[in-house]
Structure 1
């Protein structure tokens, strides 16, 4: 997936089909922000989007194949840029009482995982 529009449309359809319409606005906003920022950080690479409803919460994950930075300073700068780009997402998630984060994928996977959890 490389399009925020496709992400929003797919997430909205999945939530509505499963009786989770109250989550449509924050979840579609979150996926659009995550996909847009991730696409900028990993241009031309495919993204993976996962949406789950578990334990009375929506869990959204966007995983990209952003390369690992061997230089610690460069890795810190890259993470800082990604987090700053997601400031509006942070405000929306906080308003809904949720959590979000960014972490490096665990081997054997490569890249970065950005996630959002929205409680019921």
Structure 2
């Protein structure tokens, strides 16, 4: 990150990656995760895809999404403090599972 003049982002990026991996791994134990970190258009984008299966029942899906959101409360505070955005939702093909992301402006 120093090569891009992003030394000041080391703490929030490290924290965001740690939170995303910890929560996604807890929700999909024993399955693979994919992590992507990109610097583009004056922003850092962190994305984690997990292998969480899609719930067919809408009530179960809503409960699962609420649990994920609640588990990421600390991530939300850090991202908000840095003026960023975050979210999660079903991954689009060809990926499967859930895609969680953070966008931190430079």
| Structures share fold, TM-score greater than 0.5 | yes
Shift of 1:89: 0.5
Aligned to 1:97, what secondary structure does the other structure show? coil
- Structure 2 counterparts to residues 56-71 of structure 1, below 5 A: 56-71=42-57
Shift of 1:55: 0.7
Summarize deviations over 1:36-85 as a string: whole Å, max 9, x none: 00000000001000000011100000100100100100000000000000
Question: 1:84: which partner in 2?
Answer: 70
| Ranges in structure 1 where 5+ consecutive residues have no aligned partner | 1-14
TM superposition score normalised by structure 1 = 0.85
Computed over aligned residues only, the root mean square deviation of the Cα atoms, in angstroms, reads: 1.0
Aligned to 2:56, what secondary structure does the other structure show? coil
Q: Which runs of 4+ in 1 moved over 6 A?
A: none
TM superposition score normalised by structure 2 = 0.95
| Ranges in structure 2 where 5+ consecutive residues have no aligned partner | none
Name whichever of 52-61 and 105-114 sits farther off. Answer: 105-114
Equivalent of 1:52 in 20, 31, 38? 38
> Comparing both chains, which one has the higher relative contact order based on Cα–Cα distances under 8 Å and sequence gaps of 6 or more?
2
State the aligned residue count: 106
